[in-house]
Amino acid sequence: MALKNKIILLLINLVWLSSHAQINVQHYLVEGHRDLMKANYTNAIQRFNTLIQIKPDLLEAYYFRGFAKYSLSDYQGGYNDFNKVVELNPYFSEGYRFRGITKAAMQDYQDAMEDFDKAIELDLANPDNYVSRGFTFLLIKEYQKAINDFNKALKIKKELPYAYLHRGYAKMSLEDFEGAIKDFSEGIKLNPYSPDGFARRALALAQQEKYPEALEDLNRALDMDDSNTLYYFQRAYIKYYNKDIDGTMADYNKVLELDPENALTYFNRAILKTEIGDNSGAIEDYSMAAQLNPGNILPYFNRGGVKYDVGDYYGAIQDWSQAIEIFPDFARAYQARSSARYQVGDVIGAMDDKETAKKKIEAYQKNTTSDTTLAQFMDTSHNFNQLIEFDSDFYRANLDDGQIQNKRIVIELKPILLITKKEDKQGDGDLSFYMKSMEELNRLNPMGARFTISTELPAFDVDTVRYLLNTTEQEKLRNSFNAQLYFYQGLLNSTIQNFNQSIKAYSTAISIDPEFELAYFNRANTRYLMIDYINSLEDYSQVITLEGTATTRHDDRNQNVQLNDYTEVLSDLSRAIELNPEFSFAYYNRGNVKCMNKDFTGAIDDYSKALEVGPTLPQAYYNRGLTLIYLQDSEKGCLDMSKAGELGMEDAYPVIKKYCTKE
């Protein structure tokens, strides 16, 4: 919050640096600044895009846009803009500082430090340069160096609440709890309206077992921000050690009400349920934690323990085997599985596990390292049934906090593009473009209908469509060999999901005019929509899942190969491209179809071609980025997502948040 406020103050100053500019430039700067103040970051990006088109060397536009992208967790996009700022003015210290901030967010700490050093060299009197470098030292756990930088910042300016809060955290990390509480209290005194100060002081108080005071601070933090799941999570932990089990459970429930995908809270609630004897509830919560975080061994290990306690020895063996599969050196899992195998009469397997555990512990003791985490997995005395504390990563996903990047979306390909009837008022999905063949279609159509490319079919009611179809039938009596007329009939039929008649009409149009590229395009689209519709009836919809599979939502069903036969769709799209090699929308659609056929490399080529030959399509950047991320080329994929977001596709930011920010 402090970083945002500081940036906003700087933005106010920078706006007026362009007083020499034309009035339209000034207007966009002011309006963009207002969007930033309101956290309308995607609107701000669009305004700054316009400014950059008008004045491609306007430093302020890149600077403001970089901040907007950074605020949406698009760190690579922010870095690119701040890099442009430095290029335009290599003596502007804030350009280096914010470029360093974005590099730190991408965990490129060495380069970030170099930028902070340069910012300090250019402006020794700016305390924020030291704060930014100090905060980065915090990230890499160089706590004393962080304190030194915060001291320098506070020497320049004593009234910096965020410097006190950061220094307090560094002191707490060095177990100087009294010093931390003093710093947090000073930060609160300077800014009593920031909940973070109270929440951080609560942590230091809890470390001193001053639970009532810690609870009071967290209650005040929640009074100011009652949607912050981290505060509820922290309060649950403190309530637990204050022996308020019901209060602990209530806070965990609140976290999961606000954030149903918080694996850490499911894990902690499962431990709590085990303690109060709710074994079935504990198993359910461990199962959710494992589902949300399948690479973590602890939900499997602990769930195995609960199953063992209730006599489900085979279930326990299965869970401990899963833990061993994830981490083959997990000695404690071998020991536990040995006990379960004895219970089911598998004496040989039990003895093998016991011997394996012994060897792994001996190997660890022989090659002892300073890795205390590994020691926990070897040490039979370590207890995993304890609540996880505050230092774990905690993802806040609040649907109503105004942060687009925190919205929950289904990460799927953006849909195909369609030729539709153009309404008097442009629809939300209509695209602006020029195509010679589209102009010709609009000029020659005997019904006077006009067409456009859109992301969705027009919303006609059935009676209207039937009336229009009757009208076209009457027109056919006068002009039965007009390909454009049959094209219109194909479109009308597709709007009411009369797919067979639609395909028949397009085929007739093609037989009249074998070079009618738009008819091939829409026939392909109709065939695609028909397959999609049939699949939806079976609740069988293919998606790309970035966790590692390209599959269907329900793999256990009997799959009908015919439902996924896109051969004719691909053939029609390829014919349209053959007739018009500049047909960017056909390349885009063919890219989608290739993804459905798991031809991901071919899909990437088609998305690239669509962007090369036609109007800029944010959908193409989005889908290419999603496919690249799936193929584990995150660097290129995230650049595409950044570009899609820059072009106004808000759904890019949740993808960036999930797959382009390092944990």
| Residues pairing with 545 in the sheet | 549
Is the pLDDT assigned to residue 369 strictly greater than 80?
Answer: no
pLDDT, tens digit, 9 for 90 and up, residues 245-298: 999 999 999 999 999 988 899 999 999 999 999 999 999 999 999 998 888 888
* Secondary structure percentages of the chain, helix, strand, coil, to 5: 70, 5, 30
Is the pLDDT assigned to residue 427 strictly greater than 60?
Answer: no
Sign of CA dihedral 584, 587, 588, 589: positive
Is the pLDDT assigned to residue 520 strictly greater than 60?
Answer: yes
Could you give the residue ranges of the DSSP H alpha helices within 344-461?
347-366, 372-378, 436-444
Residue 477 CA from chain centroid, whole number: 55
* Cβ atoms < 10 Å from Cβ of 553: 12
Is the pLDDT assigned to residue 598 strictly greater than 50?
Answer: yes
Is the pLDDT assigned to residue 52 strictly greater than 80?
Answer: yes
User: What pLDDT score does 432 carry?
Assistant: 61
The radius of gyration computed from the CA coordinates of the chain, to the nearest angstrom, equals 30
Helix (H) or strand (E) holding 454: strand 451-454
Name the band, by pLDDT with cuts 50, 70 and 90, for residue 412. Answer: confident
Domain ranges within the chain, ordered by starting residue: 1-123, 263-378, 412-539+553-580, 601-663
Amino acid symbol at 573: L
Per-residue b/e over 93-119, b at no fewer than 16 CB within 10 Å?
A: bbbbbbbbbbbbbbebbeebbebbebb
Q: Yes or no: say if 512 and 481 are a contact pair by the CB < 8 Å rule.
A: yes
| Of 485 and 80, the one with more pLDDT | 80
Helix (H) or strand (E) holding 483: helix 483-495
Q: For the structural domain made of 1-123, what CATH number should be given? A: 1.25.40.10
The token duo for 366 is 């022989």
Name the band, by pLDDT with cuts 50, 70 and 90, for residue 524. Answer: very high
The token duo for 303 is 């769930």
| Of 343 and 656, the one with more pLDDT | 343
| CATH class of segment(s) 412-539+553-580 | mainly alpha
User: What pLDDT score does 286 carry?
Assistant: 95
Report the share of the chain in percent with pLDDT over 70: 82
User: What pLDDT score does 322 carry?
Assistant: 93
Is 412-539+553-580 the same fold as 1-123? yes
User: What pLDDT score does 96 carry?
Assistant: 96
pTM of the predicted model as reported, rounded to 2 decimal places: 0.69
φ and ψ at 296, to 5 degrees?
-95, 130
Name the band, by pLDDT with cuts 50, 70 and 90, for residue 624. Answer: very high
Name the band, by pLDDT with cuts 50, 70 and 90, for residue 477. Answer: low
User: What pLDDT score does 663 carry?
Assistant: 55
Q: Yes or no: say if 180 and 205 are a contact pair by the CB < 8 Å rule.
A: no
User: What pLDDT score does 563 carry?
Assistant: 53
- Cα 86 to Cα 99, 101, 340, 354, 540: the distances in Å are 8, 14, 63, 61, 50
Q: What average pLDDT score do residues 325-339 get?
A: 90
Is the pLDDT assigned to residue 400 strictly greater than 50?
Answer: no
User: What pLDDT score does 330 carry?
Assistant: 86
Q: Yes or no: say if 659 and 546 are a contact pair by the CB < 8 Å rule.
A: yes
Assigned fold of 263-378: 1.25.40
Q: What is the mean pLDDT of the chain?
A: 83
Q: Yes or no: say if 356 and 364 are a contact pair by the CB < 8 Å rule.
A: no
